[in-house]
Chain A
Amino acid sequence: MSLDAFYRFQNLARDESVVFFYTGYFSQAIVTAMADALRLRLNQTDASNVQRRKLFSVFIEMAQNVVHYSAEHLTASDSDDHEIRRGALWVGERGGQFYVVCANPVDRNQTHRIRDKLAPLLGMSNDDIKQLYKQKLRADNDAESKGAGLGFLTVARDASGPVEFDFADEHGPHSPTTMFYLKATI
């Protein structure tokens, strides 16, 4: 990559008011370091305490989602601790609101499962999401989840509007993986 491409990348990031961007491998140590840096960066913005907390929560849920579920990993695919997996995470600001976007490859056969979890949340009010959260809090764990199965719901709860998601093929329609994007505005 020539430096010229790097300037274009920097300019785009500035034009889009990017507060934070990371792409590469995610581990708990990297997530923790990014979280510390994000907190310091947010302290320099006009974000309210409530907004900072919600943004932090969304950031952690998304970043740990990459650590646990990205289809591209350096660690054994069945490990559930000390994992290292690939993804990207972007925090930006627009008109006094912040947004967080994460991207990570997922197995193509997981897209239905992800869609089924996220699609119902799109049309729900914040009160409905809170009710569903309380209900799921007391429900038995999803067998495929490595946590409490509340990650997407937590992102939706802390977002100020409906979350957005998409799948985009990185390596064509026949690749076993596709790129999963999730965006939340706070």
Chain B
Amino acid sequence: MTAPVLQMRSITKTFPGVTALSGVDLTVRAGEVHAVCGENGAGKSTLMKVLSGVHPHGSYSGEILFGGEPAAFRDIRASEQQGIVIIHQELALIPQLSLAENIFLGNENARRGIIGWSTTLRRAAALLRRVGVPDKPQTRIADVGVGKQQLVEIAKALSKEVRLLILDEPTAALNDEDSDKLLDLILELRDQGIACILISHKLNEIRKVADRVTILRDGRTIETLTVREAPGDPADVSEDRIIRGMVGRDLDHRFPERSRYEGEDAGRTALSVSGWTVRHPVDPQRRVVDGVSLEVRRGEIVGVAGLMGAGRTELAMSVFGRSYGQYERGTLHIDGREVRARTVPEAVAHGLAYVTEDRKTYGLNLIDTINRNISLASLPKLTRRGVVDEHQERRVAEGYRDSMNIKAPTVFEQVQRLSGGNQQKVVLSKWIHADPEVLILDEPTRGIDVSAKYEIYTVIDQLAARGKAVLFISSELPELLGMCDRIYTMAAGRLTGEVPRAEATQEVLMRRMTQDDDS
């Protein structure tokens, strides 16, 4: 057994109201590829941020040993100096600059502030050869594909004398060929003695390149499994075994009892999407949603499961007034009538509501107050002859504050001062007050604590009990299993299955979510 290059011991990190990591251990040996997996929200990203100094020393508890020495990184720069380089899912490249300039960005080959171009180009060319990019160093980043960009990121890491490379979902945006190339490179680097932490949802990838895998769940280390003893050995850990580790937990008392909708139109189809296809907004070659058809009936809560990049949010936003990507084809029926909602106001007018997964960017005006955020999507209802009835608005907001249990002294509190759970309740209130027939909820419980989650589940249940149709997108399989009547699964922009509640287990869902389109 080789000596560990990295030891993280009982790392605990809390954010206001949320414990993101509690007592996490992670040991990476020199020259191994170590996979870290877990559901979205399990704490993988936070752990990597702690390791790379994004969350500086002192903001977490626990101990990090790197190369046997205690490490206390103040920022990313400090960790990079030690040879820890993290490559994020969103690449940190400047599209207008050349490959060479990007590789040495922040780390220029310069003497007294003057860049030595011949050194830069020579070294860049060598690094590009090493990662297998044939293009000239002068090529602009924007002119090479995303697969090569990922390799350029690795070249950038190599220029910094990397000892530990962290890759966060490196193949999420890549096609199979580029993925294979990247994975081969990881193995090559490992053989040169560079340890690698690979965060991935794709179990086949993990089986292909990882030596060991550590599984996180709810901010804890569940187990570390050995995928193979020596390179080339047949893997002794099955995908099912990893899935069990990722999802295993009990489902008792975390969800309200589901109520029934007794109206006379119960069971009538409220939302019907068929053949919905959307292209990527900047890369029209890519179909991010591909021929998706689904239905939600009145009084029903229907889940959509899928891993990051499966196209769930893209589907939802595109259906909601085509607010994402380029619509290609597909039809939308609401209550049996075909609807062409080309803008958000049209979608709202037809009874659609979309509660975003990213409440800070797409859901709230953070600098404004609770009451004015709640009223924004339904101002006409609070308006007489173009004038907003402020008293009525305030009363409505206070009504939601009480019924949703939004913790704020007054409804004139700025939304940015609220906790995540309370912000989410404000977004939900906004759309409930718009009184839609169909609600699309995108990760409605992301980043909020358990008790607030229960309150939000209760609200969702009550919406269904009032005859609304709810499409519930989530990365947390337990909540889909706990709340939904049926669950659709998506992978790579396509529907890969429809599972009734009775037959759904996390294993069944995870298998369909991780399957590639070859099935």
Real binding pair? no
- Residues on A lying within 8 angstroms of B by beta carbon are none
- Residues on B lying within 8 angstroms of A by beta carbon are none
